[in-house]
Amino acid sequence: MHLTALLERAARRAPDKHALVTDDEAVTYADLLDRARRAATVLIDAGLRPGDRVAVMTFNTPGFVVAAFGTWFAGGVLVPVNHKFTVPETRYAVEHSGAGLGVVCADLAATARAARPDTVWMTTESGVDGLPDFDALTAAAAPLANALTQDDEAPAEILFTSGTTASPKGCVHTHRGLSLVAPLITSTVGFTSEERFLLSMPIWHAAPLNDWLLTMIFLGATTVLQREYDPAGFVAAVERHRATAFFGAPIAYLAPVQLARQGKLSLTDADLSSVDTWLYGGAPLGAETARALATAYRSDRFFQVYGMSEMGPVGTALYPHEQVAKAGSIGRGGMPGVDLRVVAPDGNDVPAGGTGEIWLRADTRMSGYHQNAPATAAVFTGPWFRTGDVARVDEDGYLYIVDRLKDLIIVGGENVHSQEVEETLRGHPRLTDVAVVGRPHPEWGETVVAVCVTADGQPITLEEIRGYLGDKLARYKLPREAVTLPELPRNPSGKLTKHVIRRNLVA
């Protein structure tokens, strides 16, 4: 199905229902469809032709959604751009995708223009001198009667990977592939048309855009847009808009809890009873953390979802009743419609108790990386996508990620899974965050480095770390260096950007 058909169907079924809600406005499905068709005319008048790319760089606003569907009605390819990008990072995304047109919110216009002055930029939310006002042009334009193409095998978006590697790659997704994500998500989570999904994580990211926004439109449900996540604002938005579902990285849940402990926020007094589905991803939860969040949010309805940008993203789920009993797991098997293997280096599936790479297969998979055939070939074996995540399979078939293949540390020929060391270190009472990486060593090949954030801000010594781990891990797994930082670098999905940590250690 072409993505424009999702919006047309929702508007036909419930034209007066709210599609998008913010603190300042509510946009019905009929209005969203009308704006999208008008936006298509604006983009066509600006020179867009079928197959051309449109960069969209905004916060979580209706303008993003209008620009996205306007692009699709005009036959273009959406290129969501990280609103936190610097000028060089923005330049890379826009140039690599080949976007000749762009829609940017006024706050980010200076970055966009400096990054790519040859791109025709238009502003949303408010005008900027010298740039066309996308909102005003959209309001004045005649609506496009029909999408210029209904080819559901045509590219719909170029979505850049979340950046745990140094050079994000552009995942090309077709309309058909993305339209299949919503039924998968719906059957996994049990969403209905009555959802009011609070979208606080960045809308340009894979899960917020493809899993949550498009699923709500598929269902004819409501998406509540929080312009940008902040802990207190997230809690207030749940109360104000009576949200029924939310998705965030674990830190998005933990940050309000930390503020509550500091007396800066009251979760006890907050009315969060409208939420039936608390979703998280980007990292698993330990049993103690899972219990703490269930208590803080007064809910046993936590889901973990695991997936990759290249797959839609879809993958696995850990259901509410499994959160404590199988804490730390990403689930057992694939979501409905997703096939999963855990594969040993020899190409065979690993048995219970074994460790191997997670491979996924689903019709939602990308068609490939934009202009990067070698990278595409490297991650596909036939129809299977090789995630690069190494997982252990327990006796019940549940998967536990132990590392990324590229994060494996080899010390004197012994394999050290950084995540195993991290998970063990997280029990240290002084630590609030930790990353374990390898540093090149002339004799051992690599040595283990613990990069820590402490609760009191004071450095933690190597002796403290090794003393804590000494009876928990084999000696070769113990860090030989300790570094204390104010915070660890993470991408917007909450994943550690270890390439940044490694680069800074060498610098």
- The pLDDT of residue 416 is 84
How many residues comprise the chain? 507
- The pLDDT of residue 164 is 45
Burial of 76 (C-beta count, 10 Å sphere; 0-12/13-18/19+): buried
Q: How far apart are CA 225 and CA 22, in angstroms?
A: 5
Burial of 4 (C-beta count, 10 Å sphere; 0-12/13-18/19+): buried
- Which positions of the chain have pLDDT values less than 50? 163-166
- The pLDDT of residue 149 is 87
Burial of 32 (C-beta count, 10 Å sphere; 0-12/13-18/19+): buried
C-alpha to C-alpha distances, 12 to 7, 111, 172, 326, nearest whole angstrom: 8, 39, 29, 43
- CATH 3.40.50.300 is held by the domain 3-13+24-178: no
Q: How far apart are CA 484 and CA 450, in angstroms?
A: 8
Provide the greatest CA pair distance for the chain: 71
- The pLDDT of residue 496 is 83
Q: How far apart are CA 77 and CA 52, in angstroms?
A: 6
- The pLDDT of residue 118 is 94
Tell me the CATH number of domain 196-403, given options 2.60.40.1180, 3.40.50.12780, 2.20.130.10, 3.40.50.300: 3.40.50.12780
**Fold matches, 3-13+24-178 and 196-403:** yes
Amino acid letter at 47?
G
Q: Give the up-direction half-sphere exposure of residue 497: CA atoms within 13 A in the CB hemisphere.
A: 17
Type and span of the H or E element at 79 = strand 77-80
DSSP per-residue letters across 344-404? -TTSSBP-TT-EEEEEEE-TT--SEETT-HHHHHHHEETTEEEEEEEEEE-TTS-EEEEEE
For the whole model, what pTM was predicted?
A: 0.85
Q: In the chain, what are the domain boundaries?
A: 3-13+24-178, 196-403, 408-506
* Sign of the alpha-carbon dihedral angle for 241, 247, 252, 253: positive
Residue with tokens 């978006």: 157
Q: How far apart are CA 473 and CA 481, in angstroms?
A: 16
Q: 10 Å Cβ neighbour count for 67?
A: 32
Q: How far apart are CA 416 and CA 167, in angstroms?
A: 25
- The pLDDT of residue 443 is 67
Burial of 236 (C-beta count, 10 Å sphere; 0-12/13-18/19+): middle
Q: Are 488 and 477 in contact (CB under 8 A)?
A: no
Q: Are 195 and 177 in contact (CB under 8 A)?
A: no
Burial of 424 (C-beta count, 10 Å sphere; 0-12/13-18/19+): middle
Alpha helices per DSSP H over 212-301: 214-219, 231-241, 250-261, 287-296
Alpha helices per DSSP H over 180-321: 181-189, 206, 214-219, 231-241, 250-261, 287-296
Q: How far apart are CA 175 and CA 278, in angstroms?
A: 28
Q: Which of 212, 184, 162 is nearest to 404 (CA)?
A: 162
b/e code 191-221 from CB counts within 10 Å (16+ = b): beeebbbbbbbbbbbbbbbbbbbbbbbbbbb
Amino acid letter at 245?
A
Torsion angles phi and psi, residue 62, rounded to 5: -55, -30
- CATH 2.60.40.1120 is held by the domain 408-506: no
Q: Which two tokens stand for residue 276?
A: 């039936």
DSSP assignment letter at 455: S
